[in-house]
Amino acid sequence: MVDCLIAFGSNQGDREGAYEAAVNSLNQSQDVQVVAVSELHVTEAVGGPGDQPSYLNGAIRLSTNLSGANLLQLLIQMEHDLGRVRLNRWGSRTIDLDLLLYGENQISTPKLTVPHPRMSFRRFVLEPAKEIAAEMIHPLSRLTIAQLIERIALGSRVVLCLAGRDLNEAYGEMEGEFKAKYGSAWTLERVDRCDQIKGNPMNAVLMAYFPLGNSRGDSSWLAAKSFKGPTLELPRNPALARQELFAAIEAIQ
C-alpha cells in the first residue's frame, strides 16, 4: 500500500457536504483506505477569474494499492459523480480533488505530475495537509510538509528566477510588471546559470524557473532539485509566466 495525500477544495454549493461525500466515496473503494482527514479551512480564491466566493480547503491522507494513474482516474470520476464541471482554469468549482503526493514517488506523464507542481508554496494546501501529514516528504525539495509551510511563513519576500539569456525579453516584461505590482514589498532576483543555485541563495521563499529542455534531465530541472525550498516551473510564454508567478505569490501571502 502506498501512502498518499489528496487536497480538497470547493467554493460552490454545499461545500461541507462535498467534502463528506468525497471521504465517503474514498472509503467505499476496495482499493483505498482513508487514514486521516483534516479540518476544513476557509481561504480566498487564488488566481483565476475575480469575485469568486471563498473556498473551503481540506486534506485527505489515504493508503492505496492503485497505481498513481489509476488513483487519478478514481479522483476524476469522483469529481464527475459529485457534480464538477470544468470550465475555467482556477475558476469556481463544486469540488476539486488533487493528488499531491504518491508516497515519495516522482511521476511525470502528460496527465499526471507528482508531487503536485504547485503544492510546495500554496498555503491553502499546506495548512490543512500539515494537520494530518506534517512528516510526509516532498520528494523534489526533500522537505516535509511542516518544513515547507515554515519556509513560506519565515522566508524573505524574495523570488529567485532562473532565466537563460535567450529569455531576456520575456524576463524583462515579467520584471517590469512585477515591480509595478509589488513595489518594494517583494524582490525578483534573476540568475542565468544553474551552477548559481546552491541550497537557497538569498533565503528566497520561491524559485521560479523557465525550462531549458524537454525532459526532467534538463539543467533547469536539476537546478530546481538543488534549491532548498518551493519551486515553480514557468511556461515560456511571457503572459502565462506572469500569471503563474503572480498566482504563486498570492498563494504564499
**What residues are labeled active site?**
84, 93, 96, 98
Q: Using CA atoms of 47, 52, 56, 62 in order, give the dihedral in degrees to the nearest 10.
A: -50
Element containing residue 180 per DSSP (H, E)? helix 168-182
Phi, psi angles (nearest 5°) of residue 206: -155, 140
* 117 prior amide bond cis, ω within 30: no
Residue 27 burial by Cβ neighbours in a 10 Å radius (0-12, 13-18, 19+): exposed
Q: Which residue has the cell 498513481?
A: 68
Spatial CA neighbour of 229 closest among 131, 159, 179: 159
The DSSP letter of residue 171 is: H
